[in-house]
Amino acid sequence: MNRVERDARVRKVFAAVRSPVVIDKGLARVVPELSRVPRYVAEFLLAAKATPQASPADVVDVVTRMYPVPEDRAAWRHRLVEEGELRLLDEVEVQVDVRYGTYFARLASLDLVVLVDPGIVRARPQLLAGGLWGRCELVREPDPVPDREGRTTYSVHLREFHPVQVRASLDPFVDNRYYFATADWIDLLLTSAGYDPDVVSEDCAEPGACLRRKLLLLSRLAPAVEPRVHLLELGPRNTGKTYLLRSLSGRVFVMSGGRSTPASLFVNLTSRTPGILVQRSVVVFDEVARLHLGAADTLATMKDFLAEGRFSRGSYEYTSPCSTVFLGNIDVDQGQPARRYATLVDPLPLELRDAAFIDRLCGYLPGWELPKMRPESFATGVGFISDYFGEALVRLRDLPFEAAYRDAVGERTLLDGATERDRAAIERLARALIKLVFPHGRFDAPGDDEVIAAILALAGELRQRIHNVLVGLAPGEFAPRRVGFSGVADSSAPDLTRALRPSRTASLSTAPGAAYYLDIGPEGMEGDGELRAIEVSVLPSPGLRVHGPAAVTRVARLVHDHVKTHIDALSLPPGWLDERGVAVQVHGEVRDVNALALPLALAMATALRKAVVERPIVAAGSATLHGRLEPPADLRARLRSLPAGVLLAVPEGATKGTLDPGRVRTVPNLAAALRAI
Calculate Rg over the CA atoms of the chain. Answer: 31
Phi, psi values for residue 649, rounded to 5°: -110, 125
What was the pLDDT predicted at 661? 54
| Overall average pLDDT of the 551-573 stretch | 87
Least confident of 418-432, 574-588, 638-652: 638-652
pTM above 0.75, yes or no: no
What percentage of the chain carries pLDDT values higher than 90? Answer: 35
538: β partners: 582
Q: Does residue 366 surpass a pLDDT of 90?
A: yes
**What is residue 527's predicted lDDT score, i.e. its pLDDT?**
42
At residue 53, does pLDDT exceed 70? no
Residues 11, 50: Cα–Cα separation, whole Å: 13
Question: Residue 6's closest CA among 189, 248, 202?
Answer: 189
What is the reported pLDDT for 633? 66
CA distance 353 to 65: 49
Closest CA to 538 of 572, 587, 506: 572
Q: Where are the domains of the chain?
A: 22-66, 70-163, 170-397, 514-675
pLDDT at position 130 over 60: yes
Class in CATH terms, 170-397: alpha beta
Q: Measure Cα distances from 563 to 394, 516, 580, 673 in Å.
A: 66, 19, 13, 10
Helix (H) or strand (E) holding 133: strand 132-142
| Residue 187 contacts residue 200 (beta carbons within 8 Å) | no
DSSP-based three-state secondary structure for 483: coil
Strands 543-547 and 581-586: parallel
d(CA 484, CA 532): 38
- Amino acid identity of 410? G
Q: Is 585 helix (H, G, I), strand (E, B) or coil?
A: strand
Q: Which residues pair with 628 in a beta bridge?
A: 669
Q: Return the pLDDT at 433.
A: 98
Mean pLDDT of 390-397: 92
CATH number, domain 514-675: 3.30.230.10
Average pLDDT, the chain: 84
- Whole-angstrom Cα distance, residue 491 to residue 485? 11
Over range 111-136, report the average pLDDT: 86
pLDDT at 503: 47
Summarised one tens digit per residue, pLDDT across range 234-249 is 999 888 777 777 777 7
pLDDT above 60 (res 175)? yes
Given a cut of 70, whether residue 523 has pLDDT beyond it is no
Per residue in 477-502, pLDDT (tens digit) is 888 889 999 888 765 444 443 444 44
Q: In angstroms, rounded to a whole number, what is the distance separating the alpha carbons of residues 516 and 618?
A: 5
Assess if CATH 2.40.50 describes domain 70-163: yes
532 vs 212, more confident: 212
Burial of residue 16 (CB within 10 Å: 0-12, 13-18, 19+) is exposed
* Contact (Cβ atoms closer than 8 angstroms) between residue 563 and residue 601: yes
Mean pLDDT to the nearest integer, 127-151: 84
Q: Give the ranges where 566-669 is alpha helix by DSSP (H).
A: 597-609, 635-640
Side by side, the strands of the sheet bearing 85-92 are: 85-92, 132-142, 154-163, 112-116, 102-107, 94-97
Q: Is 464 helix (H, G, I), strand (E, B) or coil?
A: helix
Residue range 210-237: average pLDDT? 95
Candidates 351, 377, 150; CA nearest to 244 is 377
pLDDT digits (tens, 9 = 90+) for 312-341: 888 888 999 999 999 999 988 888 888 767
Judge contact between 257 and 286, C-beta under 8 A.
yes
